[in-house]
Chains A and B, each alone.
Chain A
């Protein structure tokens, strides 16, 4: 059987397994959390937020929201969603069953990893839709906020979200391997949360934290134009993708040769 068939079978199964799980709902809850907070803030602070004539209100609404929420929130979200998705397997004692099936182990490891990445991308998509809808809703209820008078600059905000996503890629590789490797939920979750907090703190010293994957999400926003470039590409982007590739390859090799007790 071809590699593609093994991989698609694995993807299909991972989607079935996500049915009715908290991991599935977490993608939606996480996506609407900040837009709801912003609606509330705009309602209460409406008088100070009415834009001057000719000013596009979307700019402030989008940039403040994306720049203040994603850098801190995304690493935490990745730690949580990765652990939750792997817990579905650990809770059902599934690994021993999967590895005794006539399917290559890589299709299971990378099929699951793909679903984790897909869940994160979907959360970004939901998040973007939720921000747009919240802006439109505010525009309908309070026309003076001006949301219906201007179009949002989609490309600019989508680029911000993409930068944030790529910067978080590195920790997906690490967290996924830890969550696959350790049945105990507390290990990947505790380790990940601890490093995510450390990442936020050490991002104050960019010359060092530029090598620390858990800081990349914050640095991708905080460094702005000061971001060091490698061949014209942001170094955080390069390091993040490298970290993902190395930890995924190492993680797979480790899992493949692991004794399943």
Chain B
């Protein structure tokens, strides 16, 4: 079995007496993974991160980081191997990027000034290094927050909603950066997000949380398989009604019409060609054929029921 970098057992926490905010949470983050912590807003993702980092006092349960029980004695040793970006980055807006990084470097000690320039280069902020943070865009702030988390070359990076407020270009850059760090340095990365597409594109492992409870935890590949092997396809044609009756002859299940698009489930990709052939034989024009993401439905069914 893979070595675990983060492991929680029976983790319980409540902000108030009448509601459990985290309930018997068992988190298992394998070494070298990119772990996506997925859940709707308010499901307890940030609370869990704060519990892992010791910012909140757990009611019961244990947090083990790098095989070591997290407590008052091990706190400094364990946190030394962690870089974290918790929700909005903590930045001194009246200072520039260099000063902000210098502050974290001073606290951590043994961090050279060349490393400060290095992380600025990694997050692509070298040109803006002397600008005050109040002049930064949200995306730049998020990237500087990531640079601060990277500063000590940590073995584990915890990122709480790192793509929040980023534009599409920023999201792609962040995604590439995360994958690259994981690949080049073997850094374990723990990302929380409420966006399934983000997790699906970036992560190797996934944990789905709702109302403080873990609903599903495995590799992303297993999650995709767990929904069954059928592929959902959406087809746009010039005459949907006619197309639908043509396809009725096929012995395929789940054929329907949704918003003028034909929805059909096939067993494998070859069947998509068959469907196209039938439609073309009836002289129906096809404008687009796309495979639908069934993970989204799975996520909704997991988190909404």
Residues on A facing B (Cβ under 8 Å): 1, 5, 9-10, 12-13, 16-17, 19-21, 88, 91-104, 257, 259-261
**Which 7 interchain pairs have the tightest Cβ spacing?**
A97-B90, A102-B79, A260-B55, A102-B80, A100-B53, A93-B90, A94-B90
CB neighbours of A97 from chain B (8 A): 84, 86, 89-90, 104, 148
List 19 other contacts, CB 8 Å, given A9-B109, A20-B94, A97-B86.
A13-B107, A16-B106, A20-B95, A92-B91, A93-B87, A93-B89, A93-B90, A94-B92, A96-B50, A96-B86, A97-B84, A97-B90, A99-B55, A100-B53, A100-B86, A102-B78, A102-B82, A259-B56, A260-B55
Let me know if B1 is at the binding interface, CB within 8 A.
Answer: no
Which B96-131 residues sit within 8 Å CB-CB of chain A?
99, 102-104, 106-109
Partner among A101, A257, A259 whose Cβ is within 8 Å of the Cβ of B107:
A101
- Residue with the highest number of chain B CB atoms closer than 10 Å, among A17, A20, A88, A101: A101
Q: Are A12 and B93 in contact (CB under 8 A)?
A: no
CB neighbours of B75 from chain A (8 A): 102
Q: Are A102 and B108 in contact (CB under 8 A)?
A: yes
Taking the closest CB of chain B, its distance from the CB of A163, in whole angstroms, is: 35
Question: How far, in angstroms, from A96 to B79 measured CA to CA in the complex?
Answer: 13
Q: Are A88 and B92 in contact (CB under 8 A)?
A: yes
Q: Are A17 and B95 in contact (CB under 8 A)?
A: yes
Taking the closest CB of chain A, its distance from the CB of B33, in whole angstroms, is: 21
Question: How far, in angstroms, from A98 to B91 measured CA to CA in the complex?
Answer: 11
Taking the closest CB of chain A, its distance from the CB of B220, in whole angstroms, is: 27
CB neighbours of B86 from chain A (8 A): 96-97, 100
**10 A-B residue contacts at CB 8 Å?**
A88-B94, A92-B93, A93-B88, A93-B90, A97-B148, A100-B54, A102-B82, A260-B50, A260-B55, A261-B15
Question: How far, in angstroms, from A8 to B87 measured CA to CA in the complex?
Answer: 29
CB neighbours of A104 from chain B (8 A): 76
Residues on B facing A (Cβ under 8 Å): 15, 50, 53-57, 75-80, 82, 84, 86-95, 99, 102-104, 106-109, 148
CB neighbours of B79 from chain A (8 A): 100-102
Question: How far, in angstroms, from A103 to B111 measured CA to CA in the complex?
Answer: 14
Return the chain A residue nearest B46 by Cβ: A261
Knowing A1-B109, A19-B94, A88-B92 are in contact, say whether A96-B103 is a contact too (CB < 8 A): no
CB neighbours of B55 from chain A (8 A): 96, 99-100, 259-260
Return the chain A residue nearest B103 by Cβ: A13
Question: How far, in angstroms, from A102 to B80 measured CA to CA in the complex?
Answer: 5
Return the chain A residue nearest B94 by Cβ: A20
Q: Are A13 and B106 in contact (CB under 8 A)?
A: yes
CB neighbours of B91 from chain A (8 A): 92
Return the chain A residue nearest B93 by Cβ: A92
Return the chain B residue nearest A94 by Cβ: B90
Q: Are B99 and A16 in contact (CB under 8 A)?
A: yes
Knowing A94-B90, A102-B76 are in contact, say whether A19-B108 is a contact too (CB < 8 A): no
Knowing A9-B107, A94-B92 are in contact, say whether A16-B84 is a contact too (CB < 8 A): no
CB neighbours of B88 from chain A (8 A): 93
CB neighbours of B15 from chain A (8 A): 259, 261
Question: How far, in angstroms, from A79 to B50 measured CA to CA in the complex?
Answer: 31
Q: Are A16 and B95 in contact (CB under 8 A)?
A: yes
